[in-house]
Amino acid sequence: MLHTSIGYILVRSFPECAIMLLTGCYFLKLKISKKVILKKAFLLGIIVSLIRLLPISFGIHTILSMSCTLFMLLYLSKDSFINCIMTTCKLFISLILSEFVYLYISNYILKIPDSYLISNYTLKGAIITLPSLGILVLIAIFIQFITNKLSEKLLTDDNE
């Protein structure tokens, strides 16, 4: 069980869920209103927060969060299951990479101690880790750019 504060949930978990859903919509090329995204992000944030309260190991929390994100994207997009699985994988790869990049920047460049970044589920911990969400968006845009280039190359090679 993770001991997450209400401040952490409000400042970190809900924005993270909103960015994950917005990025998922970007990957799936969906046009969904901000109001719908905010409602679904709020719902996903509550679900993910409740999952974090379960007395299970951390890796299982991540898998359950991925599943909830997958089903939320399926509901929003009505796209194929495979496309939504691929999107969810790209989302969580972006999330993992953004955390590693932010840990590197904060440790080696900004000299922020690990104790502030890892296992710190307080309001202060939430605020300190918010920049990783911006990095997540940049990584997601880069992943989509590479995906588009690879798709174009495959289409060009098939037409030759």
Query: Coil, strand or helix: which one is 118?
Result: coil
Instruction: Give the residue extent of every domain in the chain.
Output: 6-159
Q: What residues contact residue 8 under an 8 Å CB cut-off, 6+ apart?
A: 121, 122, 123, 125, 126
pLDDT at 3 over 80: no
How confident is the model over 98-117, as pLDDT tens digits?
A: 999 999 999 899 888 887 77
Burial of 120 (0-12, 13-18, 19+ CB in 10 A): middle
Task: Over range 76-88, report the average pLDDT.
Answer: 90
Percentage of the chain exceeding pLDDT 90: 56
pLDDT at 128 over 60: yes
How confident is the model over 21-62, as pLDDT tens digits?
A: 999 999 999 988 989 999 999 999 999 988 888 888 767 888
Asked if 128 and 112 count as a contact pair (C-beta separation under 8 A), the reply is yes
pTM: 0.86
